[in-house]
Structure 1
Amino acid sequence: MADIGVGIVGTGFIAEIHVAALRRVARHNVQVVACASPDSAAFAARHGIPVHHPDFEALLADESVDVIDICTPPALHAGMVRRALEAGKHVICEKPFTGFFDVGERGADGFDRQEMYDVVMAEMDELRDAVRRSGLVFGYAENYIYAPAVQKSRELIQAAGSKVLLIRGEESHSGSHAPHAAQWRANGGGSLIRQGCHPLSAILYLKQAEAQARGTTVAVASVLGEQATLSNLLTERERRHIAARPFDVEDSATLLLTFDDGTRGIVNACDMVVGGVRNEVEVFTNESVHLCQISQNDAMRVFHIEEPRGIHLTEKVETTAGWQDVQLEELVMRGYVGEMEDFVECVANGGTPQSDIELAYATTQVLYAGYLSASTDRRVHLQDRADTRVP
């Protein structure tokens, strides 16, 4: 059993989840030993973290920290990954890996998506090389990969040697209340990069599992993207149940992936869907169908005449009155505990996480190919197929 100290940078919503998930890791003595952000003192007190630093550089200098867990806004990810590796720290990086953010206050409307794609690809080339040279563990915190349903789908595909013909994935809900969710410069895009990255990574991961089992390789050959801002079609009264208020980003996006073996993947990501979050992956093989519900379930159903107060039932529902499917063991069922177990095991004993730099790279490349495609109404052919090829 190894002793591993984790330092968290960023103390927002996802940091809360990461702390809880890290404390569920059983095989090693994992301690969140420090955190850093402008309000790190309150976060440290709330979670019993012994040290809080005022800034990232102080966290990097902390000798008790073996792993840097990056939970900051996406625009900060690339620079922090680079600095953490230079400091000799293992890295966990929350999604999305990186993106294009330099659109200024006027926003991304009219900004050349080809330039975005080229800039993002150049930055990712540099970051991937840095990870490879470092010899350190890089974990891409894509929880969908570790959801029990997706892990079981992988096991079934590999055990049967199935041919995966189509995978459909979706993450949709009624939008984020956070102001930054409306802005390209904060997130590098809208619902596609914020939510679509999850099912996209699952699709790429399961195609990788198929290729490994069949002794072949697979690559994304082309991407066709469609996006819109559908909530802008509504009056203010009509959109009263939708939280999203996009400024220069999409609230509806669809990607069609064509793999070089002729099979397909479909990604949907929306910020204007009421009725609770939709987190799902559907796998269609030559001999099976896997319907993977990441968060929706009927293990427990409850009915309330009035909305219960002070207790979480399920995510992103507009009302908790009436019949509700209760989310149980969310940290496990949505993959957060599994991802931390994998990352910690690789830090302790060597190895590469299932969700690694290659998946981070491939996911982000396809996302920005999707943005480019949507802006030109044309299919984007990925010229450098080695970028997404699975060994």
Structure 2
Amino acid sequence: MSIAFQNHYQKFHDGIFGSIPDQVNDTQNQKKLLYKKPCVIGVEGSFKCGGSFPYLLGGELVYAQSSGDKFTVTASSIKEAFDSAQKSDRVPVAFIWEEPTALGFILRNEALAEIAELIKEYLAKYPDMVILIDAYNGGLFREDKIPSLYADPLIRKNAIYTTSMRKKIPAANWGLITPIACGNKTLKEKLSLFFGSNSFYTVSQFSKLETLVASNIMEKFLNQGGSVEYQFENFDYATRKIAQINHELGVELISPYANPEAGINYFIQFDDSFLSEKSCRDAQHLCQTLTLITGLHCSIPSAMGIPGFGVRINLMRGQQALTEEGFKNSQEYIDEVLNRLKYFLLALEQGIFSFNDFEEIIACAGKDLEIFSEPIISLQNNFLAFMNVKDSKLVSLQ
């Protein structure tokens, strides 16, 4: 891209932060939050451990190192991960275990037994730690049962066991039809809140387990003396602002959708019929156009389990949402983000731009973007100028 276009784009994207003070220093945050940081222990190479849910309320993911091209893990490497967490004043609230490991390696019974004994030691130390066991292609439900940590009765008391059914039901993609087992009455009650059934469910299993882990992290956070007052306030504030925007528009075009994904993202659903009428094809098309016209960073929510045009937008500005200073900063940020969404909808209705205006730009997939620099700048400038208009309504939809 040309230097001029790079500078313009930088200013455009940075503009949203213009009136907001610098982020609160992480060290200051840690001094204000006198609690042990929650963490989730996972095995390196476990592909489902990369989500953001361990980071809810300041939590983090700690990997047990694996070796070889099949991500072989030993009891000693898992112990190192737990010891590392303990030394840095972190509290394990969940242990994620894949059976077999990520590339299908099945541990010998002796090795699995050694790991089971180790996990039981840590369960004695952290009695509310959840063991998430994610088995491959049937696991315990197969005729040739894969050896499982779930077989140990002491581990089963804190364990949730789930597996895909791709080999049993060829039409079932990952996460669509999934059995689940749980050996703990309290956990079952919690699971029933999210699943509606403890046997089979038809949405992505791991996003639901993330919800459970997030809940566990939050409980641990509160028990350790932390406060989520500002975290909840941010979500409540954004929800109130969305209701206000819909009132100003004269029709409900956007709605919030709660999800445990870490307290840093906010999921927003857009009215299907309105966007379809405006030639929006799907959520990806919406995200691409939103990013280009408003400068907001957004993405498609994974495994939300609901239909329609949804986007994931960072509203919380990370850790600083947990402090009073950060909360005040976040409110300004939320105001700006939602204001841009409001005017995005208004501009669509009033024909300031259309989804069709971006077809060539989107089709280039980021290649030779400089060719489109002038039309992009023109569209963005028109949008920013339009944002200065006050008291507009979607009159035609009232």
Question: TM-score, normalization: structure 1?
Answer: 0.28
* TM-score under structure 2 length normalisation: 0.27
Structure having greater relative contact order (Cα 8 Å, sep ≥ 6): 1
Select the structure of larger CA radius of gyration: 2
